Amino acid sequence: MLLFKNICVFCGASLGRQPRYQESAQALGAELVRHNIGLVYGGGSVGLMGTIARTVIEAGGHVTGVIPGALKTKEITGEIYGDLITVNTMHERKATMARLADGFIAMPGGFGTLDELFEAITWGQLGIHAKPVGILNVNDYFTPLLQWVEHALGEGFVRPQHRNLLVVADESAALLDGMNTYEPPPGLVQWLDMSET
């Protein structure tokens, strides 16, 4: 049995060039609903964001979107999926999503997705949270990034125990299973309540 109430998914406001990206967003959305896990996401109706939110809603699941007011006209075109929380800034968006979620998953996306992913990883590294951070490595999209992590580790900029902050899989079911058994690296102390971020 999976132990999550809500999972935050970071992903692109575009669909990407490969159909597999959208198919994986649909598969992840269906997997969340199958396990009665709510979706927390960036609130948009476009790109992979819109795909996963629509999939969860159509399958009878629960969706909470969090979006800065300034992005509403860019990232919402038409239907709003689930509950929508409007915030003032990108910082507030990330903090709100993090507070609502029991874990994080990054799907393919651009700079914004990587910003959200690395903040979640960094907060885990610092002990601000002890939640699993997953990467859904669709079509090896994140493989160059994972190679960089190994390079940073080899160069002494990432500590060996922090490699385990990331749970990686190329299928949604396997990723959720891996996140469910996640244990934070030893020696991390949770020092800041997420409600304060």
pLDDT digit string (tens) for 118-154? 999 999 998 899 999 999 999 999 999 999 999 999 9
Question: What is the pLDDT confidence band of residue 187, given thresholds at 50, 70 and 90?
Answer: low
Segment 37-55 shows an average pLDDT of 94
Max CA pair span of the chain: 47
- Specify the pLDDT at position 117: 97
- Specify the pLDDT at position 137: 98
- In the chain, the N- to C-terminal Cα span, in Å, equals 30
- Specify the pLDDT at position 93: 93
- CATH of 10-115+124-140+160-179 given 3.30.70.1290, 3.90.1170.50, 3.40.50.450, 3.40.640.10: 3.40.50.450
CB 85 within 8 A of CB 67: yes
pLDDT at 196 over 70: no
pLDDT at 63 over 70: yes
- Specify the pLDDT at position 82: 86
Q: What percent of the chain has pLDDT over 90?
A: 76
Q: How far apart are CA 39 and CA 35, in angstroms?
A: 11
Segment 92-115 shows an average pLDDT of 96
pLDDT at 172 over 50: yes
Question: What is the pLDDT confidence band of residue 194, given thresholds at 50, 70 and 90?
Answer: very low
* Residue 189 neighbours by CB distance under 10 Å: 8
CA distances from 67 to 91, 112, 152 (A): 11, 13, 32
Q: How far apart are CA 27 and CA 76, in angstroms?
A: 22
Q: What are phi and psi of 13, to 5 degrees?
A: -85, 10
Determine the 3-state secondary structure of 164 from DSSP. Answer: helix
- Specify the pLDDT at position 180: 95
pLDDT at 71 over 90: no
Which runs of consecutive H residues, i.e. helices, occur in 127-195? 143-154, 172-180
What is the DSSP code (8-state) at residue 16?
A: -
| pTM greater than 0.85 | yes
